[in-house]
Structure 1
Amino acid sequence: MSTAPDTPTPVAPVQRETARSVDLTRFAWLSIAAAVATIALKSAAWAMTGSVGLLSDAAESTVNLVAAVVALIALRVAAQPATDKYLYGRAKAEYFSAAVEGAMIFVAAAVILVTAVERFIHPQPLENVGVGLLISVVASLINGGVAFVLLRAGRRYRSITLKADGHHLLTDVWTSVGVLVGVGLVVLTGWDRLDAIVAFAVGVNIIITGTRLVSESVAGLLDQVLPEEDNAILVEILRRRSEVQDDQDRVDFHGLQTRGAGQQKFMNVHVLVPDEWTVKHGHDYIEELEAELIAALPGLTVATHLEPISDPASYADIPSASIPIRPATAQPDS
């Protein structure tokens, strides 16, 4: 004759931190300031030299400004708390920002490619190259510093908007380096068409960047799974909890699914507990589990489904796609 297990010690309520997001708009303002400064510097360099390569560099900075303004709007929307209309918040607004930035990059690339081809057909000599290159170097240093800040903040806060903006600025830096080398070679070799070739290469590179940004934003909108390192943390906790129990008090898990939305992380999992547990016992166990998961992965929202471990119906609703918790999880004998 079996007796109901002792009721576990009540646990403190789990603090849900996923309903609010960190305000990241200060980084967008930094990006806007950098874009305005570099547009002015690069436009001056182009006006002084007549280099189509430097013109393409200035055009990309114009895209940076538009993208930074879009990013500011997206970050403001994403930072707003959940409402009766948007119960899960609006974190996915960041993915629209990345998509818009990718589209703007394609427009800039098209303009650069057309200009480069025209200049290749009708080459022109460059003027005041020394001063123009110096101005462009200053602009590149500004972009490089801001890119470093944005990428670090993007990784820390899991913001696709900041990461997209940071990668774009970093690409702009490398673009500027290529342009500077190309313009320098034009001066050394006297081959004016090399300037157009460099500009064309810049356009191709920008297209590659835009394709990557659009791909990443689409993946986010389609609820792509969390990164492998995050999933590994969750799997380790669930695996450990399913292995420390004895046969009479064993708990198991299946149907683990995860997704990300901007700064927010979500997971859902089925929790299989002994048939004899009371609702109170199962609830306290889940509260304890969720507290551990959130402590290990801050910003996580956990959804659990409680099921009796010996009921065959508990194994009939496993999602068709889920993250394996162990190489093989067999249904226990009744």
Structure 2
Amino acid sequence: MSPQKRATVVSTTVATLLVFVKLTIGIASGSVAVLASAIDSLLDMAVSMFNFFAIKKSEEDPDDFYHYGKGKIQAIASVIEGTIITISGIYIIYVAIEKLIHGSETKLLTPSIMAMLFSIVVTYLLVKYLLRIARETDNLVIKADALHYKTDLWSNAAVLVALGLVYLTDLHAIDAIFGLGIGIYIIYSAYEIIVEGIEILLDKSLDGEMVAQIGEIISNHPEVTSYHWLKTRTDGITNFVEFHMVLRPNMLLLEAHRIADEVEDKIMKLDPKRRWMITPHFDPYDDEDINRAMLHGTPLVDLEKVSH
């Protein structure tokens, strides 16, 4: 089992444990903050299970139907995860407002506080583990999962503070107010996850610094006259790079292939954690204007004018 899949199994197990503890205490105590945290953990469990299958599919090799693999499943998973987090935040806000209106009391404060202390310790250890796996694998799903549980850590701490204040002041509205704040924070935290997933689905280019480094590698090769039409994207697992490089018109194909291999080797070293699919195109002259004209639908009869 890969480290990514093992991480999803661990997070699913932890989330299941926390659901049982928080839901039991939340229902018994009537605490909106604890109940909100329990619902969030329930969604964590569902999302972690979904992430396992998403990673399993994304790691499959390309086949006759999916020539570029299924890496974008990770991006789909992160969008779904972010959407679920947003929905849970909206529900928590609804429950908090309802409690503020009706003014119900929070019971079993001591067991609730102990449950949240336990949750904070377990979640902290899980976040440390997920962040380590995310650094080692650079996996988008694991990064999203780590971010999700990191927000849980802060929300659990907020719940603990709320329960402590209710215990000290006997002002039960504090529980609802903190629950409201947690709901807003959860929605805010989901934004980054959704955006990153959508950017991958829309084939956003690699990081600007990475693109600049790729350009430098191509242009710095002593036998490359110039380059153009550099295009990049990622599916979360594989980085895709296409470019045209201008070589001597009389160069042998064997030489051109050697140059391409040297350039590709240097590009792949920029991010050894990712797979790379690099597609160079050999040009005897700079035809960037022609390519741009074709991209924008210039009629074939006008291409000769463009080339001159």
Q: For the superposition of Structure 1 and Structure 2, which TM-score range results when normalised by the shorter chain?
A: 0.7 to 0.9
Amino acid at match of 1:264: T
SS in structure 2 at match of 1:268: strand
SS in structure 1 at match of 2:103: coil
Which residue in 2 is equivalent to 1:211?
A: 191
Q: CA 1:250/1:62 → structure 2, altered by over 3 Å: closer, same or farther?
A: closer
CA positional deviation for 1:170: 0.4
CA positional deviation for 1:171: 0.2
Which residue in 1 is equivalent to 2:278?
A: 302
For the pair 1:94 / 2:74, whether they are aligned, the reply is yes
Question: How far, CA to CA, are the matches of 2:185 and 2:147 in structure 1?
Answer: 13
Question: How far, CA to CA, are the matches of 1:75 and 1:98 in structure 2?
Answer: 11
Pairing partner for 1:83 from 40, 46, 63? 63
Output the TM-score relative to the length of structure 1: 0.81
CA deviations on 1:111-160 (whole Å, 9 max, x unpaired) are 21221111111223333312321221111221122122223322332211
Question: How far, CA to CA, are the matches of 1:189 and 1:183 in structure 2?
Answer: 10
SS in structure 1 at match of 2:122: helix
More off after superposition, 23-32 vs 217-226: 23-32
Q: Is the Cα–Cα contact under 8 Å of residues 257 and 267 in structure 1 kept in the other structure?
A: yes
Computed over aligned residues only, the root mean square deviation of the Cα atoms, in angstroms, reads 2.3
For the pair 1:317 / 2:260, whether they are aligned, the reply is no
For the pair 1:46 / 2:23, whether they are aligned, the reply is no
Which residue in 2 is equivalent to 1:285?
A: 259
The unaligned stretches of length 5 or more in structure 2 are: 296-308
Q: CA 1:231/1:136 → structure 2, altered by over 3 Å: closer, same or farther?
A: same
Q: CA 1:279/1:315 → structure 2, altered by over 3 Å: closer, same or farther?
A: farther
Q: Higher relative contact order by CA 8 Å / sep ≥ 6: 1 or 2?
A: 1
Question: How far, CA to CA, are the matches of 1:61 and 1:70 in structure 2?
Answer: 14
For the pair 1:71 / 2:45, whether they are aligned, the reply is no
Which residue in 1 is equivalent to 2:140?
A: 160
The structure in which a higher percent of residues are helix is 2
Which residue in 2 is equivalent to 1:274?
A: 248
Which residue in 1 is equivalent to 2:218?
A: 238
- Percent identical pairs in the alignment equals 24
SS in structure 1 at match of 2:269: helix
**Structure 1 runs, 4 residues or longer, greater than 3 Å off:** 312-315, 318-321
Aligned positions, number: 294
Alignment of 1:94-243 (within 5 A): 94-241=74-221
Question: How far, CA to CA, are the matches of 2:137 and 2:268 in structure 1?
Answer: 16
Output the TM-score relative to the length of structure 2: 0.88
Q: CA 1:47/1:238 → structure 2, altered by over 3 Å: closer, same or farther?
A: same
Q: Is the Cα–Cα contact under 8 Å of residues 254 and 318 in structure 1 kept in the other structure?
A: no
Question: How far, CA to CA, are the matches of 1:237 and 1:103 in structure 2?
Answer: 39
The unaligned stretches of length 5 or more in structure 1 are: 1-21, 322-334
Question: How far, CA to CA, are the matches of 1:104 and 1:87 in structure 2?
Answer: 30
